Amino acid sequence: MTATTHDYIIVGAGTAGCVLAARLSEDPGTRVLLLEAGGASGPEAASLPDPLASFGLWGSSVDWAFSTTPQAGTDGAVHAWPRGKVLGGSSAINGMVHHRGHPASYDAWEAQGATGWNHRALLPFFRRSETAEGRDPEVRGTDGPMRVGIPAEPSALARAAFQAAVEAGHTPLKDGNGPESEGVSWRETNVVAGRRQNAFDAYLRPVLDRPNLRVATGACARRLVMDGTHCRGVEYAVDGGTHTALAERETVLAAGAIGSPHLLMLSGIGPADHLRELGVEVAAALPGVGGNLHDHVTSYVVYETADQPAPGGPGAEAQVLARSSAGAAPDLLLLFVAAELQPRWTGAGPGGHSILFSLMDPASRGTLRLRSADPAASPLLDPGYLTDDRDLERLAAGLRLARELGRTEPLASRGTAELRPGAAVSDADCRAYLRATASTYFHPVGTCRIGTDEHAVVDPSLRVRSTTGLRIADASVMPSVVSAPTNATVLAIAERAAHILTGTTS
């Protein structure tokens, strides 16, 4: 088995991996290998600007098609966890949302031990990742690869939703990613010329002809090549054959909150007792690997309505970032959707509208563990949804906010009935409804968190503790999930990781 040699090896060509490969290969003297288990492209639906088109990609060739273990907090439900398996990763199959969330989300990281990781420190990297025309250049990017903006003219229903939020007391914002983020704003998306723009389109496609950059698709990482506690590279499979790639500088994992801890544990880096139970030789005992797994949890109120979406594709959508209580940081995100959402993302139909509400700062935590030592076996995913009773209470506050908005005149005048949970339900009924309908918002994080304590997996420079030659830069390093969909945050994490590795932001 022959080995190839590179300066950097990046595992995973999702959002973070595309950023890293593009930035690290800017130096023509730096040899970069990017490994992606999926293919170079996917179904046509992957390019559509309609977020609901993502439903059609679940279970397709571009989806890892993960699922959770049965969740006691949601009445034993097993939740589908679609994750992108294609160049661009989950940015190629997600809802295309570009939202940073509230600065308090990032300042909380530093308070949890991620020294130097706060909103002020990340702001330059948010700006570097984006082009947001017409926004405040002090806080928004003007020449970054990801082009972001508000979609077409909002529908009458979307305008009514925005006005309903204002009448309910939520501050209208000119820019939901601007200096103020708590209130109601128009949701920004990554859509260019009517087509989805994923991280591969923005960062990597324009530089694929660099002679120092190699992108290998269909390349499934099997394990890290460890020499004691030093990572020398990656063993991976392509078309049934096994290959080895060695890194003269470093190997960087960018396989996400599922893929990165999974590969660490397959390589003997993780909770020692768990690895030994599965016959994996321990290279570095790191008890925090695969711990701290959590995700936004969401539900929705659904209304009948006589309104029909305007022709010509999706328009602007209103969103509200709010607080579950006066003493909390903003921890609820509400979104108005011109469709009748079915429970737990089982579909969406016309003839209705929905107010989706999500808990942005869940206290519940779970684990990712190996199912077996076979690299082809999916890991066991237990996010522990609603196992902390505080989450149910705060989600119930989100339900109350959503129903209040639905009863506000601009929306109430357009709706004909509250289909779910129904107008005449008690507080106990509402909590039962939440247990029966709560599900993922597709933003798992935290399984290789930044910190300095014994359960941290990476240090503030993103180096995997107790090892050398190995770093992680993806959603897994977040100590806690931010108050927004996570793609914009992962872009910033990867931009900062590239800066750490190269020592330059030019």
Give residue 506's pLDDT.
Answer: 37
| Per-position DSSP letters for 306-353, written without gaps between them | S--PPSSS-B--EEEEE-SSTTSPS-EEEEEESSEEPGGGS-EESSEE
- Say if 77 falls within a structural domain: no
The binding site comprises 86, 94-97, 441
- Say if 223 falls within a structural domain: yes
Among the three residues 401, 419, 437, which one is the final residue of a domain in this structure? Answer: 437
Q: Which domain holds residue 37?
A: 1-41+83-149+191-294+443-506
Give residue 339's pLDDT.
Answer: 86
Residues 6 or more apart whose Cβ sits within 8 Å of residue 179: 136, 138, 139
Considering the domain architecture, whether residues 169 and 92 belong to the same structural domain is answered as no
The binding site for substrate comprises 441
- Say if 59 falls within a structural domain: no
| Per-position DSSP letters for 261-319, written without gaps between them | HHHHHHTTEE-HHHHHHTTPPPSEE-TTTT-SBB--EEEEEEEEES--PPSSS-B--EE
- Say if 49 falls within a structural domain: no
Considering the domain architecture, whether residues 394 and 501 belong to the same structural domain is answered as no
pLDDT interval class at 505 (50, 70, 90): very low
CATH number of the domain enclosing 408? 3.30.410.40
Count of domains in the chain?
Answer: 2
pLDDT interval class at 317 (50, 70, 90): very high
Considering the domain architecture, whether residues 461 and 426 belong to the same structural domain is answered as no
pLDDT interval class at 312 (50, 70, 90): very low
Backbone angles phi, psi at 445, to 5 degrees: -145, 175
- 308 has pLDDT over 60: no
Considering the domain architecture, whether residues 31 and 179 belong to the same structural domain is answered as no
Taking residues 319-341, report their average pLDDT.
94
- 441 has pLDDT over 60: yes
pLDDT interval class at 30 (50, 70, 90): very high
- Say if 123 falls within a structural domain: yes
Closest Cα to residue 103, out of 260, 330, 441? 330
Taking residues 369-374, report their average pLDDT.
98
Rg of the chain over all Cα atoms, to the nearest angstrom: 22
The binding site for FAD comprises 86, 94-97
Cα gap 477→458, rounded to integer Å: 7
- Say if 412 falls within a structural domain: yes
- Say if 380 falls within a structural domain: no
- 351 has pLDDT over 90: no
Give residue 10's pLDDT.
Answer: 99
Cα gap 394→8, rounded to integer Å: 44
Catalytic positions, please? Answer: 443
Considering the domain architecture, whether residues 261 and 217 belong to the same structural domain is answered as yes
pLDDT interval class at 48 (50, 70, 90): low
Q: Are 45 and 57 in contact (CB under 8 A)?
A: yes
Q: Are 309 and 155 in contact (CB under 8 A)?
A: yes
What is this structure's pTM?
Answer: 0.97
Considering the domain architecture, whether residues 19 and 125 belong to the same structural domain is answered as yes
Give residue 423's pLDDT.
Answer: 85
Residues 6 or more apart whose Cβ sits within 8 Å of residue 367: 290, 291, 293, 380, 382, 384
* Dihedral of alpha carbons 81, 256, 368, 443, sign: negative
- Say if 371 falls within a structural domain: no
State the chain's mean pLDDT as an integer. Answer: 94
